[in-house]
Amino acid sequence: MDPIQRQIVDLLPRLRRLARVLAGQPADADDLVQQTVERALAARGQWRPGTRLDSWMFRIMKNAWIDETRVRRRRGAVLAPEEEGENVGGASARAAEARLEAAEVERAIARLPQEQRLAVALVLVEGLSYKEAAEVLGVPQGTLTSRLGRGRQALLAELEGG
Amino acid sequence: MERDERLAAYVDGELDAADRVAFESELASDPELRGRVERQLTLRRRLQAAFQPVLDEPVPLQLTLAAQPANARARGWRAPHWAAMAACLAAGVLVGRGLLTERGPLVARDGGLVARGELAGALEERLAADGPAPIRVGLSFRDAKGRYCRTFQSAPDQLAGVACRESAGWRAQALAAWSPGPEGRYRQAGSDTPAPVLSAVDELIAGPPLDAAAERAARDRRWK
């Protein structure tokens, strides 16, 4: 396996997490990861060694996700958050509770507009700095922080409301 | 900087040292501000906690395969499966590790190795979604001959591989030494499936892997 493939394999858990924040449903999220990986390998010549591979792949994922949402919108597909409550039968009460809590957070994130969801995903979940996140999104830092601020407000309203 | 933005920058660790000190002295004398910081920290924690478990999930084998497409082909290496198997796990090793004994997971038959016992049972019955078990089945797919093939990881046998269903049973196509991660936990399936097994899957697979519904349907038809 060549070094970039090895690094991509190592990044897969983080790519899956970011995809889950963006796409919501696990199957859609893994499709998004797959597209991202395929695009990255096809464009591997454009990655400059010495720069961060994770940021580069996050940018590819962002583009793939935006493309995908456009296609879905054209098809008129409705992106409804999946019904939760499956597979909790065998889990402990505490795990089930954590699952419900996570589902609530996921639903709140799914209601955010695309741009705010991206900012929230990169900074609050993925832990990127403002500078890194702005670079991934290809926007000025001020744009990133204002999207992040609006995303935060919306999430607080949603999550503290209930 | 606006007040809200400063607060966010503080919570996100984006203030430089001087600004942070100034903000913290404001915090000390302003309970209302402290409350707002606490709300933001709680939000951050909830978001982190909601998605953290994804990092610990096994990575679907399809994604690992997508990340290293045909890496054997890239080197121009197209060994027959038996040679691949022999390369990664010599027959002597199989015998030495007790894999071919009466109670072992494999039996030599028709010039190949066929799963028996618990391994055969797992390949025949288990679904990928069944959850943790000593013998876990990963990806199910069909090969160009229309046979069903499945990857597996067996903790008791310290063995990973891919086997395809023939009339004689599940015939191993590739095998590799494998062990579960520390504390008996399965490590990330992605980085964990041994390369010889990945190469064999890559070489065998025809079309997309079975999804959960197709896997169950094939199982219920006894893989015919």
| CATH number of the structural domain spanning residue A16 | 1.10.1740.10
Tokens of B109: 């038959």
Determine, for residues A152 and B8 on separate chains, whether the beta-carbon distance falls below 8 Å.
yes
When scoring B1, B41, B54, B62 by the number of chain A Cβ atoms within 10 A, the one with the most, hence best to mutate, is: B54
* pLDDT beyond 80 at A124: yes
Q: What is the gyration radius of the CA atoms in chain B, in angstroms?
A: 25
Confidence class for position B83, pLDDT limits 50, 70, 90: very low
Comparing B173 with B97, which gets the higher pLDDT?
Answer: B173
- Same domain? B136 vs B94: yes
Asked if B196 contacts B85 with a C-beta cutoff of 8 angstroms, the reply is yes
Mean pLDDT score, B26-34: 94
Determine, for residues B54 and A20 on separate chains, whether the beta-carbon distance falls below 8 Å.
yes
Give me the pLDDT at residue B183, please.
Answer: 45
- Same domain? B50 vs B62: no
Boundary-marking domain end, from B54, B72, B92: B54
Range of the structural domain that residue B189 is part of = 57-220
In chain B, the number of structural domains is 2
Give me the pLDDT at residue B94, please.
Answer: 60
Confidence class for position B87, pLDDT limits 50, 70, 90: very low
Element (H, E) at A31: helix A26-42
Q: Give a yes or no: residue A5 inside a domain.
A: yes
Question: Rounded to the nearest 5°, which phi and psi values hold at A81?
Answer: -60, 140
Kindly state whether A114 is in contact with chain B, defined as any CB-CB distance less than 8 angstroms.
Answer: no
* pLDDT beyond 60 at B30: yes
Sheet with B159-166: strands ordered across? B106-109, B112-115, B169-177, B159-166, B148-154, B135-142
Q: Give a yes or no: residue A57 inside a domain.
A: yes
Instruction: Work out the angle at residue A124's Cα, subtended by the Cα atoms of residues A119 and A125, and round it to the nearest 5 degrees.
Output: 100
- Same domain? B24 vs B81: no
When scoring B6, B43, B57 by the number of chain A Cβ atoms within 10 A, the one with the most, hence best to mutate, is: B43
- Does residue B118 sit in helix, strand or coil? helix
Mean pLDDT of chain A: 87
How far apart are the CA of B12 and the nearest CA of chain A, in angstroms?
Answer: 8
- Same domain? A55 vs A113: no
Determine, for residues A21 and B51 on separate chains, whether the beta-carbon distance falls below 8 Å.
yes
- Same domain? B16 vs B83: no
Determine, for residues B47 and A125 on separate chains, whether the beta-carbon distance falls below 8 Å.
yes
* Partner residues linked to B136 by β-bridges: B153
Does the predicted TM-score (pTM) go above 0.95?
A: no
Q: Give a yes or no: residue A85 inside a domain.
A: no
How far apart are the CA of A76 and the nearest CA of chain B, in angstroms?
Answer: 24
CA B2 – CA B94 distance, rounded (Å): 68
- Same domain? B15 vs B68: no
Asked if B119 contacts B107 with a C-beta cutoff of 8 angstroms, the reply is no
Give me the pLDDT at residue A92, please.
Answer: 74
- Same domain? A13 vs A59: yes
Tokens of B49: 């906690």
When scoring A37, A61, A82 by the number of chain B Cβ atoms within 10 A, the one with the most, hence best to mutate, is: A37
How far apart are the CA of A70 and the nearest CA of chain B, in angstroms?
Answer: 23
Give me the pLDDT at residue B111, please.
Answer: 67
* pLDDT beyond 80 at B112: no
- Same domain? B198 vs B155: yes
How far apart are the CA of B209 and the nearest CA of chain A, in angstroms?
Answer: 13
- Same domain? B10 vs B66: no
- Same domain? B102 vs B140: yes
Complex ipTM = 0.87
Give me the pLDDT at residue B96, please.
Answer: 58
Mean pLDDT of chain B: 80
Comparing B15 with B102, which gets the higher pLDDT?
Answer: B15
Q: Give a yes or no: residue A84 inside a domain.
A: no
* Lowest-confidence region among A10-14, A87-91, B24-28, B92-96: A87-91
Cα–Cα nearest to A102, from A116, A119, A82, A118: A82
Q: Could you tell me what percent of chain A has a pLDDT over 70?
A: 88
- Same domain? A70 vs A104: no
- Same domain? B184 vs B139: yes
- Same domain? A153 vs A109: yes
* pLDDT beyond 50 at B18: yes
Task: Report the CATH number at residue A140.
Answer: 1.10.10.10
Range of the structural domain that residue A67 is part of = 1-79
- Same domain? A108 vs A49: no
Quickly list DSSP for A86-116.
Answer: TT-TTS-HHHHHHHHHHHHHHHHHHTS-HHH
B146-155 pLDDT tens trace: 999 999 988 8
- Same domain? A75 vs A114: no
* pLDDT beyond 50 at B185: no
| Residue numbers in B near A148 (CB within 8 A) | 8
Across the interface, which of B8, B46, B47 has its CB nearest the CB of A145? B8
* Lowest-confidence region among A133-137, B39-43, B82-86, B125-129: B82-86
In chain A, the number of structural domains is 2
- Same domain? A72 vs A108: no
Confidence class for position B95, pLDDT limits 50, 70, 90: low
Q: Give a yes or no: residue A86 inside a domain.
A: no
- Same domain? B88 vs B186: yes
- Same domain? A15 vs A62: yes
Give me the pLDDT at residue B56, please.
Answer: 86
- Same domain? B39 vs B129: no
| Residue numbers in B near A38 (CB within 8 A) | 66
Residue type, B223: W
Q: Give a yes or no: residue A10 inside a domain.
A: yes
Residues of B with CB under 8 A from a CB of A: 4-5, 8-9, 12-14, 39-40, 43-44, 46-57, 59-60, 62-64, 66-69, 71, 74, 131, 188, 190-191, 195
- Same domain? A66 vs A139: no
Confidence class for position B22, pLDDT limits 50, 70, 90: very high
- Same domain? A74 vs A96: no
Asked if A4 contacts A53 with a C-beta cutoff of 8 angstroms, the reply is yes
